Every structure is written in structure tokens, then in C-alpha cells.
Chains A and B, each alone.
Chain A
Amino acid sequence: MVTSLAPRFPAVELKAGASPIWRTLQRQDQEVWSSMAFPTLKDEDWKYFDLSPLRDVTYVLPSDQRAPLSLQIEPSALRLYWNQGCLQIPTSLPKGIILRPLDPKKRLSSKLDQDYFFRMNQAFFSEVYELRIQQSFESKDPIYLENILQGSDDQVSLAFSRLHIVVESGVKVQIVNRFRGSNAYHLISAISFKIQNEALVDLERLQYDSAQSFHFSYLQAHIGRGAHLGVRTVGQGSRLRRDVPHIHLEEASTVELDGLCLLKDQQLADTHSFIHHAHPHARSRQLHKCIVQDRSKAIFNGQILVALNAQQTDAQQQSRNLVLGDHASIDTKPQLEIYADDVKCSHGATIGQLDPDELFYLQSRGFSESSAKGLLTFAFASDLLGHIRVPILQKTLKQEMIEQLHVHTLGELS
């Protein structure tokens, strides 16, 4: 029985030069975290998530061997790299971008602090940076946040990445947060947003983690008055994946929170989202789609909280799931808590298989059974992929999906 990871956890020291306040905060976080119990299936938040693959893991700290950087062809306003969780400070920054150590006073405190792995990130992360996108920023190209992980063969490298982003009032920006990795590692990534009034942010989160990896990701966003955040999360790697987006909506702000999981083999992916309608006239749209093949399993728990004074809230949540493997499974749970009385809230959850009549239609047009299945699976995911705002990424993802589904006929689609 694992009660805590602490005893077999390698010590992490703060970098020399870190401010004394951070040292104190981190020491406190480490103390709190050490006393927290390792989650089990008995915890409500972990009910369907079997953490046993983590049990016999031997953690090591990542070697600081430089991961080879692949040549990126996408046009970008800025590209930041995290190598093994460690931010590589660029030599120059474009106009309107500031990158600096985060002022400890700005650290968000939230109910995520109760989360074992989030707290672990806080306890062991050694440098927290703030990326500030100012009103003078004017590039139409996205900002890329690239995480590169190189795990080890027989042990699990443990890495933390963390960033706080401030988007100033009225700024319009596209951000791509991409993860690539090889071999075995456990990444606990946390990114927080402070989106000021009337700003428009698109965030594409693309997780290409390795098949042996564990990736727990946390997203916190505070969306200011009249501001908008659109998030698309596409996850396809990872043995174990957990994604925890927490969204806080100010008056008349909007969020689109989309997620797509394409799972196979023994993969397990869990999305635990929380949307907080704290103020009136805000709007949320959530579309979560999972495709499970083989023996894989997807979990969705979508909590939406509409506070007493959040009148005229407009919230919609859809959980759509496609089960392709006889031994694959889905657990989905909408969780709406509504305290205001003048609101428009809806949710829907479906779990289904491919429709035999639809398969027959495609077969009657000459498509083999396997390509018909692939085509319908692609069709199932296509609306969500269509929401991705960066055209080159949308095209790439569609192509990758076609390859994943082994539908060579669809190679002609691009």
C-alpha cells in the first residue's frame, strides 16, 4: 500500500539564486505535500483512475542531456522550449513580450492545492516564470510553448514544468502548448493564465507523449470581464494521462473548452474539468470526445459550478464517446451545480459504437470494412479538430489521425 511517494522521491533543490520567498514557500509546499496521502480509488476524484502502474516505479531526476530539437517549420511569434521541464531562456524576445521570474505574491491559490500531484508540482518546481503578453504585442503568428522530454529505459524520469501567463487587456493571441517525449517519464505540468478584460486567447494543447509516459497536466485560467479563452486539447500518447483544467469566468467572459482523446492498447486518460461561473452573463461551451480502442479507458468528469449571483449564465457541456474495442471502456460524468435561478445550462453524454447502417453505406460505396470504420471514426473527431484555430496544426492533426487509424484510403484527404 502506497501512502506517499515522498520516501522514494529524489530530492530536488531550488536553483541557486532563487528568491528567499520562493525558498520559504517551497519548503512549506514540501511539508504539506509530504503529509498528503497518495490518492486511491476510494478518493472521489480518483474513483476510476487506477494509479497502480505508478506503484513500482523508481523515479530518477532527468539527466540534463539536451534533447535534439527538431526543425520547426510553423511560423511563430515566439518559441519557448522546456527541456526536461527546464525552461531555456531565449536570448531575445519579440516586441510586447516579457519573460521574468514570477512574483511569489501572484501565485494563484485554488482548490487545486488539494490535488496531490498539483501540490507535488508546487513543492518541487524550482523556477516559476511569468510570460507577459503586452498590449504592444501584435504578431498574428502563434506563440509556441514546446516541452521536450527524454525519459529513461528502465526507470522513470520525473519532470515538472510550470508557467504563468498574463495576457493584457484587449490583446489577441494564439498559443500552442505542445508536448513531445520518448521513453519513460512522469511529467507534471502546470500552466496558469491571467487573461485581462477583453483579451482574446486561443490555446491549442497538443500532447504527443510517449507510450510509456505518465503525464498529469493542470491548466488554470482566470478569464477577465468580456475576455475569451478557446482551448483545444488533443491527447494521444501516455500510458496514464490526467488533464485537469480549471476555468474561472468573470462577468460576460466566454470559454470554449474542447478535448479529444484517441486511446489504444492499455492507455488510460482522465479529464477532470472545472468551470466556475462566478459572475453574471458568462458563457461556456465544452465539447469532450473520446475514442477508445483495444483495452483502453477514458474518464470524463465535467464539473460546472454556477454561483448564486451568476445570472444569465449560458453553459453547455457535451461528452461524446466512441467505443471501438470490445474491452475498451468509458466513464463519463457531467456534474452541474447551479445556484442561480435565471440561467441556461445543458449537458449531454453519449457512449456509442459505430452504426452498422453507416458502415454499410460506406461499404456499399466500395470502402473496405476497415477503411469504412476509419473514415467514420475520423468523421466522429473531425468537428473538434475543425475547431483548432491554427490552420497548419489543424491539417497536421487530421493527417496524424488518419495515420493513427491506419486508414490509408484517407491518405488522399489532405
Chain B
Amino acid sequence: MLTIRNLSATVQDTPVLKGISLEVKAGEVHAIMGPNGSGKSTLGKVLAGHPSYEVTEGEAIFQGKNLFDMEADERARQGLFLGFQYPIEVPGVSNSQFLRMAYNKRAEALGQDELDPLEFQDFIHTKTSLVGMNESFLDRSVNEGFSGGEKKRNEILQMAVLNPVLAILDETDSGLDIDALRIVGSAITQLRRSDNATILITHYQRLLDHVTPDFVHVLQGGRIIKSGGPELAVRLEKEGYDWLLEEINL
């Protein structure tokens, strides 16, 4: 589904990704961990097409197409989703209007029928219950006045609506209390299917208690320095990154 080969990228001429290779197959969940500044969030933004980053080497093939040949919006319509660490607010545009517009753009790309407001109302109902969101949030402006946790839930709601092929969730667990974490974790698990895949970018094991990854990768200095199974995340949670950094130096 996604094949990243030797990906390097810079921001304002500073190298931030230095040769990343990663294979994500349909049905898989990958967790990307690593200390602050290791390049985790950057990887998500580069894959989603943030204009501040320049790809200097390598490629990313997503469903047979080179991601870097597409603008960010085209990648989204092709089924790539980035859940933001800091979602933005869009005053004056209600959440349901926004979701429906985004849904229809994706539907158009898939050759499916667009939904009118009434049809969308029925459709969205099943999705808000998935993320445990009060429907009053649909009438409010996108993320305006939402708490940190509510914004993150809203990201998962968008993911549920857009039904992406590949979702990259950038620190979706940060800012969530224990209950919200459980709900978000369970929503991600329920959205998991054999024909889609998820990349979880996270600092902590705690989200992985709710969503069991197939693979865990550790990013450091813009490179993947270790890959393993779920047990790797458990060990990192217990022992931190020092042992791993020592192991690499040896």
C-alpha cells in the first residue's frame, strides 16, 4: 500500500529526514516512536504534502502512485489522511458543513455519489457515536473553542467520515484524558480493516494499550534506528530510549 524508499527531506535547507525506508501493507498498524525532535511529526507532514518541507531524495509509492507527484489535496482525495497534532480552527464554517464538503470531495474522487445535507445527517450520526461525540459539536464552527481533547476526537471523526486508505495519526493521544484515550483507541480499532492501514505517531505506550500495532519503529535523528513488534514499545515505556541509543552506538 505504501512503500517509502530512502526518503530524505529538508526544512529551510536543514535536513530533517535522512533516508527512511518503510513498507506498510494493507491491514497493518505501524507505530512510530522516538524522542522529541527525532522527525516523527515531520514524516507525517512530508507524506501528507506540507509545503514547508522539501523532499530531497527517495520516493513514496502509495497505491502504485508516487505521492510526491501529487499536491496535498490530491493525496487526501486519493485516501491519505493526516490526523493533526494541533488541528486548526475554522470560524464561521460549521463542523457538519466542513465534514460534508470534505466527504463529497473524497466521494467524487472515488466516483461515488455526493451526499446532500439530509443524507449526510443520517450518515454522520453513526460516526459521532463511534467517537463518543455529542452531536451539538456538529453545529459548532470547526474546532472553534474546542478543548484539546475535543479537537483530537474531531480528528478521529473526520477520519471516520473520510474513510481513508491510509491514516497517519500524529500524536492523537496527547491531550486526551483516560476516558477519551479509551474511546479514541477503540474508534481507531473499529475503523481498522483488512484493506486499510494506520500509522500511529506517538510518544507513549498508552495509546498502544488500546490499539495493538503490528510493528513498532523508533525514529532518531531522521532515521529509523530500530523496528520490532509491540514488545518494543513496552520496553521503551519502561526503560526509555537510552539503552537503544547505546546499542546503536556500539
Contacts and interface: CB of A to CB of B under 8 A. Distances in A.
Interface of A: 355-369, 372, 375-376, 378-383, 385-386, 398, 409-410, 412-413
12 contacts: A359-B51, A361-B84, A363-B76, A364-B73, A364-B81, A364-B82, A378-B93, A379-B93, A383-B91, A385-B92, A412-B104, A413-B97
B5 interface: no
Given A363-B49, A367-B101, A372 B73 contact: yes
Contacts, number: 84
Contact of B73 (A368, A381, A398): A368
A365 B158 contact: yes
Interface string B145-186: 000000000000010001000000000000000000000000
A355 B84 CA distance: 15
Contacts of A372: 73
Contact of B52 (A356, A367, A382): A356
Given A363-B73, A364-B82, A382 B88 contact: no
The prevalent SS among residues of B at the interface is: helix
B48 interface: yes
B127 interface: no
A358 B48 contact: no
Interface residues of B, number: 33
Q: Chain A CB within 10 Å — which of B72, B100, B158 has the most?
A: B72
A369 B93 contact: no
A382 B141 CA distance: 10
Interface of B: 45, 48-52, 71-73, 75-77, 81-82, 84, 87-88, 90-93, 97-98, 100-102, 104-106, 109, 141, 158, 162
Given A366-B77, A376-B90, A379-B91, 10 more contacts: A356-B51, A356-B52, A364-B81, A365-B98, A365-B162, A369-B73, A372-B73, A379-B90, A385-B92, A413-B97
A361 B88 contact: yes
SS class, residues of chain A in contact with chain B = helix
B105 A367 contact: yes
B93 A367 contact: no
Contacts of A410: 101
Contacts of A376: 90
Contact of A366 (B51, B52, B92, B105): B105
A382 B97 CA distance: 14
B92 A379 contact: yes
Contact of A412 (B71, B90, B101): B101
**Looking at A359, A363, A382, which has the most chain B CB atoms within 10 Å of its CB?**
A363
A367 B102 contact: yes
A409 B45 CA distance: 25
A395 to B, nearest CB: 12
Nearest to B77: A366
